[in-house]
């Protein structure tokens, strides 16, 4: 008896998570009429991509999507380039200031994004990166970097030091050993970090909205047209926002859990 109650609870919580997304998908894929009907059906009469097509046809949407992709890719790149070496340093070397560095990294995540984006407006205008994917990606990198550093650090730590040492004995330089031995072994986890950096950037709203005017990312675009757009635009927009990231998270879920410290028992 107790077991079935417990399983019912688990199922309910799963439903609670999935049903709202289903409703959004329904609104986005159910065709133009479904959006405006009331009461709403729980099952699409006819699945149709028309709402999504209409959404993508709106002036500025495609450009915004491309801008989001650009920004997210840049964020991914910067996070890896800056974060992986730092993670390697933390994993393989014990140096004075390591703990202070770690603390600083953690500290950044304890602060709200708001503070970063506001004053950067002025700075970015001066540097000429205001209203560009590059500018926004810089802020996003600041968001994703702590994560990249700390997670890659534990990734590298999991690669046994003896493998690198063996490589040194057999003639590799330290850099070669890192590149040929450690990197390939840590690659799945690194890919997961990259994807998570992408997701963080893709989903971010505030900084993207503050720092763009004409070259908005998808999130910034949706935010500004929110109040004026008809419902079906909002549904389609939400759906387009969600789909890639949920797909990504599914692909890297095993690594995601390993990253957070959750093993498969």
Partner 1 sequence: MIPYFLIAPSLLFLGVLFLVPLVQTIALAFQVHGAWTTANFTTMADDINFHDAIVDTFAIVAIAVPLQLVLALGMAMMLRNLGRGRDIVLWIWSIPLGISDLAAGLVWLAILTDQGFLNTILLKLGLVSGPVSWLSYETPTALLIGIAFAELWRATAIVLVILVAGVQMLPKEYNEAADVFGASPWQRFIRITLPLLKPSIQTALILRTVLAFEMFAIVQAIGGRNFPVIVGEAFTWQYTNQNFGVAAAYAVVVMLVSLAATLVYLRALRTPREQIG
**Of residues 236-255, which lie at the interface with partner 1 (CB under 8 A)?**
237-238, 241-242, 245-246, 248-250, 253
Q: How far apart, in Å, do the first and last CA atoms of the chain sit?
A: 26
Separation CA 26–CA 99 (nearest Å): 49
Considering all CA atoms of the chain, what is the largest pairwise distance in Å, rounded to the nearest integer? 73
Structure tokens, 62: 């495609």
Task: Choose between 74 and 241: whose C-beta lies nearer to partner 1.
Answer: 241
Query: In the numeric block, which tokens belong to residue 226?
Result: 């929110």
Question: Which positions from 168 to 187 touch partner 1 by CB under 8 A, shown as an x/- string?
Answer: ------x-------------
Q: Which residue lies nearer to partner 1 by CB, 18 or 49?
A: 18
Q: From residue 47 to residue 86, what is the string marking binding to partner 1 with x (rule CB under 8 A)?
A: -------------------------------x--xxx-xx
Cα–Cα distance for residue pair 136/214, rounded to 1 Å: 13
Residue 56: CA count within 13 A, CB half-sphere: 10
Binding mask 16-45 for partner 1 (x = CB under 8 A): xxx-xx-xx--x--------xxxxx-x---
Is residue 204 near partner 1 by the rule CB under 8 A?
A: yes
* Partner residues linked to 48 by β-bridges: 30
Give the footprint of partner 1 on residues 94-113 (CB under 8 A). Answer: 95, 98, 101, 104-105, 108-113
């Amino acid at each position: 008896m107790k077991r079935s109650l417990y399983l019912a609870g688990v199922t309910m919580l799963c439903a609670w998570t999935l049903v709202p997304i289903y409703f959004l998908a329904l609104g986005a894929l159910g065709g133009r009429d479904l959006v405006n009907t009331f009461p709403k059906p729980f099952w699409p009469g006819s699945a149709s991509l028309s709402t999504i097509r209409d959404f993508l046809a709106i002036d500025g949407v495609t450009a915004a999507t491309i801008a989001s992709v650009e920004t997210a890719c840049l964020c991914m790149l910067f996070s890896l380039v800056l974060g992986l070496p730092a993670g390697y340093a933390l994993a393989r070397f014990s140096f004075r200031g390591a703990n202070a560095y770690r603390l600083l990294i953690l500290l950044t995540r304890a602060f709200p994004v708001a503070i970063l984006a506001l004053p950067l407006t002025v700075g970015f205008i001066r540097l000429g990166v205001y209203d560009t994917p590059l500018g926004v990606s810089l802020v996003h990198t600041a968001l994703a970097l702590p994560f990249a550093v700390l997670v890659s650090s534990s990734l590298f730590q999991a690669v046994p030091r003896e493998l690198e040492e063996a490589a040194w004995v057999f003639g590799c330089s330290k850099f070669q050993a890192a590149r040929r031995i450690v990197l390939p072994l840590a690659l799945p986890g690194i890919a997961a970090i990259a994807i998570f950096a992408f997701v963080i950037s893709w989903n971010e709203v505030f900084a993207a909205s503050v720092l763009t005017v004409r070259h908005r990312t998808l999130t910034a675009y949706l935010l500004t047209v929110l109040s004026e757009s008809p419902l079906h635009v909002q549904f389609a927009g939400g759906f387009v926002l969600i789909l890639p990231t949920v797909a990504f998270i599914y692909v890297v879920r095993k690594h995601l859990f390993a990253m957070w410290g959750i093993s498969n028992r």
